[in-house]
Chain A
Amino acid sequence: MERPHGNETWKEWIGAHGPRLLLCARQWTRSLADAEDVLQEAFVRFWRHQRDLPGDPQALLLVSIRRAALDLARRNDRRLAREQRADGGLEETVTLFARLPGEGDERRQEIEAALGRLPDEQREVLVLKIWQELRFEQIGELLGISPNTAASRYRYALTALRTQLEPLCHG
């Protein structure tokens, strides 16, 4: 993710990177509304105060989004949180991905449903790897786990997805 350059507007920047950041935020929150809130909080802080700081803006924003999501979760009612987690994390039927051009929508829906059934810790690694294009070292640093653990979770996630999607492919 490139650093915002001098004459780039926040609209151009968020237009290019916002969808992937929102997808990540969604992995760490219990609803799309919460994900939007934490993305807004992190992005406004980044754009106003942090965009000229040294370092990787992508890492800075992801850390900020994750921290805001954790703070929000702590503020929420614990009982409600337990109930929603028991539903499997991504409890909403919100479409995460755009429809693929020229193709039916069935496959995308199947993938989204399979993603929703993954354990949280596997899904977050998968999302960071596939759609944020982070290396395992970066994922490990962000999540506080070793790169090897990140790689294992990624492999487990892909294997689980394949298991869930294969019967649909061949059936």
Chain B
Amino acid sequence: MDESLQELENELKRLRPQSLPDPLLQRLERELGAVQAPRRYTTATSLRSWKWAGWSLAGAAMVALGVFAVSLSRTGTATRAAHGAPVVAATSHPSPVANRYEPVRASSVLYELKDDGATYLPDQTPGRQVRYRYVDTYTWKNPATKASLKWSVPRDEVRLVQASLD
């Protein structure tokens, strides 16, 4: 960039946008005046998040599925052996431990935030129902075979928030 453009750029940077007009601040005051301290969100990467419980359950289900697949294949091998077929696959099947998928990644993407309208909170005070729509994606990996499995699950989270009394 040549010198004159640089000077112009610096001149522009010296300009400060106008302050917000008072009527806008008053409207914001009406909307946000009653908002309390910020809520803390849990994320999919938080170890204390409830989602990790679901993730563990899904992992356990995967392990059970792996054990079931192995026992099924062993039954097939035994059947073939009984009929005189060569037993070649018995040593090539991975053990249940080798078939284990381990969770390696979890992510959560908020793709829509929707105000469902006015409602009453459990203590009968007025509130609003807000719907958060996420896609949670979980990835498992089998360290032995390097195979990976990815689940993307849509999730709606409905929250009741205190309404402004203004």
Chain A residues with CB under 8 Å of chain B are 4, 6-7, 10-11, 14-15, 18-20, 22-23, 36, 39-40, 43-45, 47-54, 95-98, 100, 108, 111, 126, 130-131, 155, 158-159, 161-162, 165
Contacting B16 at CB < 8 Å: which of A19, A51, A155, A162? A19
Q: Return the chain B residue nearest A36 by Cβ.
A: B24
A43 to chain B, nearest CB (A): 7
Q: A43-B28, A45-B113, A52-B41 are in contact. Are A98 and B130 (CB under 8 A)?
A: no
> What are 20 pairs between A and B in contact, CB < 8 Å?
A6-B38, A10-B35, A14-B28, A22-B18, A36-B24, A48-B161, A49-B132, A52-B39, A52-B41, A98-B16, A98-B18, A100-B14, A108-B15, A111-B11, A131-B17, A155-B1, A158-B8, A158-B9, A161-B8, A162-B5
Contact A20 B17 (CB under 8 A): yes
Complex interface: chain A residues within 8 A of B20 (CB): 14-15, 18-19, 22
Contact B9 A96 (CB under 8 A): no
Contact A111 B15 (CB under 8 A): yes
B165 within 8 A of A: no
Contact A96 B5 (CB under 8 A): no
Contact B17 A98 (CB under 8 A): yes
Contact B39 A96 (CB under 8 A): no
Contact B15 A39 (CB under 8 A): no
Interface flags for B1-39 (1: CB within 8 Å of A; 0: not) read: 100110011011111111111011101110110010111
Q: A44-B31, A52-B38, A54-B43 are in contact. Are A97 and B17 (CB under 8 A)?
A: yes
Complex interface: chain B residues within 8 A of A47 (CB): 32, 35
A19 to B40, CA, bound (A): 27
A51, A108, A162: residue with the most chain B Cβ atoms closer than 10 Å: A162
Complex interface: chain B residues within 8 A of A108 (CB): 15
Q: A19-B18, A159-B5 are in contact. Are A53 and B32 (CB under 8 A)?
A: no
Contact B15 A10 (CB under 8 A): no
A-B contact count (CB 8 A): 95
Contact A98 B5 (CB under 8 A): no
B53 within 8 A of A: no
B90 within 8 A of A: no
Contact A111 B12 (CB under 8 A): yes
- Shortest Cβ-Cβ A-B pairs, 9 listed: A19-B17, A23-B17, A97-B15, A18-B20, A52-B41, A36-B24, A98-B16, A44-B31, A158-B5
A19 to B21, CA, bound (A): 9
Q: A4-B38, A40-B28 are in contact. Are A162 and B4 (CB under 8 A)?
A: yes
Contact A130 B9 (CB under 8 A): yes
Q: Return the chain B residue nearest A18 by Cβ.
A: B20
Contacting A10 at CB < 8 Å: which of B9, B12, B13, B32? B32
A68 to chain B, nearest CB (A): 13
Q: Return the chain B residue nearest A32 by Cβ.
A: B21
B110 within 8 A of A: yes
Given A131-B15, A155-B1, A159-B5; 10 other pairs, CB 8 A cutoff: A11-B29, A14-B20, A15-B20, A23-B18, A36-B27, A48-B32, A51-B38, A52-B39, A97-B16, A100-B15
